[in-house]
Amino acid sequence: MSSVEVQSVNQTLDVSSSYASNNQSSSKHTNKSKPLVDKIRSIIMEMYSDDPELFDPIDIERVKVDDWYIKRFLLAQDRNVKSASNMLVGSLKWRKSYGVNHLDLRSFPSEIYRLGAFFVYEHDKEGHEVLYVRANLFRRSKDLRPILVQYGVAIGCQVEKASKNGVVCVIDFKNLSLAHVDLEIMRIIISTIVNHFPLFVQRFFVCNIPSVLQMISSLVINLIPSSGRNRLTFVDNKELTKYIDSDKIPECLGGSCKKPFKGSGVVPNGCPNFLEFSKTIGWTNQQYRSIYKTFKSIFESEGIEPMPEPVD
């Protein structure tokens, strides 16, 4: 588990039926890999039988019923059963240690939602759900980084359970300055996607990289394994409409969709504010004050009510 403690989920999904439906929805995929998938499943089940503490029982239920979940690891390893099994074992161990199945979106600070820096929005032209990341709203912070990564994992898991076709990720670099580039959080997020959510992101769109930061293009490319670079496309707002209809794109990327993506209206019921949250994870007043000062101007520029002022 990361340094951020997250409350247990209060609304539990029916995991078996959810993953079974995903399996059925993947009928477009051939069954020629079925014997290999079954072999990997047997390896996992044997390991779990020998040591029930090794994996989360919720994930084991998924392994039992969801062929496509296993096949994604198989395809990521060029149909090599041994490599795919090792990759899946590593991912299942990570999921348990990270507490993936018990992340609660309502336990994160309301400010993360209100700012609209990372959100799920309307579908693209091929029916994929779209995740938007507004890079200019992030700041380098060792204290904040694990919280944002954990939030991203929680959002990703929610979409993965609901999605039949995978997702598209749009990263907007508009108005980003070099001082604000956090390559470490980008590396962690991409590494998490590659190692634990193979074939989940169908395409990456990198938007609006400022001319003075063109070097970021190479850095982003190098963060993605060579086998996945054909899924990476650099676009501007106009070019993005080739893939997503304008009335499905948020206004912050030049679209005409009026669906809220920031502000109090997108905050789940029961979320703490950031000051309350900082106390639950044991932050000092100095840590909170530093984040408050860093983001005060950002909230103001977005027209969003700022974080609560620090209390001595």
**Beta-sheet pairing, 201-207 with 167-172:** parallel
Q: Which CATH class is domain 105-301?
A: alpha beta
Decide: 67 and 35 in contact? Cβ < 8 Å: no
What span, in angstroms and rounded, lies between the C-alpha atoms of 256 and 228? 31
Can you give the residue ranges of every domain in the chain? Answer: 15-100, 105-301
pLDDT in tens, 38-83: 999 999 999 999 999 999 999 999 999 999 999 999 999 999 999 9
pLDDT in tens, 202-250: 999 999 988 777 777 777 788 787 877 888 999 999 999 999 999 999 9
Instruction: Supply the mean pLDDT for the chain.
Output: 88
Please report the pLDDT score of residue 133 as a whole number.
94
Closest CA to 210 of 171, 254, 174: 174
Please report the pLDDT score of residue 227 as a whole number.
76
Kind plus residue range of the DSSP H or E element containing 121: strand 118-121
Range of weakest confidence among 168-182, 268-282, 293-307: 168-182
